[in-house]
Amino acid sequence: MPAASRVSIQLALDAIAKNIVTCERCPRLRSYCTALGETKRRAYLDWRYWARPVPGFGDPNARVVIVGLAPGAHGANRTGRPFTGDGAGNFMYPVLYETGFASKQGAVSAQDGLRLRDARILSICRCAPPADKPTPQEQANCSLHLSAELSVLRRARVIVALGRIAFDGYLRHLQRSGVIERPSLYAFGHGVEHMLPDGTVLLGSYHPSLRNTNTGRLDRTQFTRIFLRARELAGLDL
């Protein structure tokens, strides 16, 4: 891709990120995130929490887009970067490193030097929700941010949806965009693949939350296969 195109994509993503960070559309979520940053968890008393909506992270020319649920209360809500500083990220980033998408195995802060190649991480909600459960209205309020970022990521060929909420949220985006008529035609499951009318592939995965990884519902081998398959579908060499 010409350098001018890369620059224009990055400028567009930067503008979208500013809109995300300053968003105040969901009072319940904004109050919750702010309170987390004031009270803090004991292990992070010396941290200055981000406590703002979290924009996407990764390669602006990504061929694989990873869609999660929302920032972790003491993960991305603290660090300001998706899946950074919590158990889900500690499980995911080593897999992204092993499958060639990440430059490092660990993700501890937004200043740790980690970079993504050919992948970008977005989320359905950009604020941490209480009990990891955003309301349907909060998801709808935040949908404009997902749609804005996806409209710029024109090289994306594969969407990896982490969990049912992310899967359904992405399908609603496609419905709003006129790509599909009925989300109900696309069933969720770990490892399911759906070829979409726009030529992209939607790949489902269980979310790498501690609830799933600690119980064995999702193990590293299963998760690694998802991203190896994503590389294959996107036409990327390992």
* Per-residue pLDDT, 5: 83
Burial class (CB in 10 A: 0-12, 13-18, 19+), 27: exposed
How far apart are alpha carbons 10 and 155 in whole angstroms? 13
Average pLDDT over the chain, rounded to whole? 96
Tens-digit pLDDT profile for residues 71-98: 999 999 999 999 999 999 999 999 999 9
pLDDT for 238 beyond 80: no
Q: Which residues contact 27 (CB under 8 A, 6 or more apart)?
A: none
pLDDT in tens, 173-229: 999 999 999 999 999 999 999 999 999 999 999 999 999 999 999 999 999 999 999
pLDDT value of position 7: 86
What pLDDT score does 2 carry?
65
Residue 189 domain boundaries: 3-234
Residue range 19-73, pLDDT digits in tens: 999 999 999 999 999 999 999 999 999 999 999 999 999 999 999 999 999 999 9
What pLDDT, on a 0 to 100 scale, did the predictor assign at position 1? 62
Residue position matching structure tokens 């503008």: 15
CATH code of the domain containing 202: 3.40.470.10
What whole-number percentage of the chain has pLDDT above 90?
Answer: 96
| Extended strands (E) in 155-214 | 158-162, 193-195, 201-205
The Cβ of residue 25 has, within 10 Å, a number of other Cβ atoms equal to 16
Is residue 4 predicted with pLDDT exceeding 60?
no
Cβ distance 69 to 124 under 8 Å?
Answer: yes
Tell me the pLDDT tens digit for each residue of 91-114.
999 999 999 999 999 999 999 999
Number of domains in the chain: 1
Distances from the Cα of 34 to the Cα of 29, 63, 182, angstroms: 8, 34, 37
Residue 6, pLDDT > 90, answer no
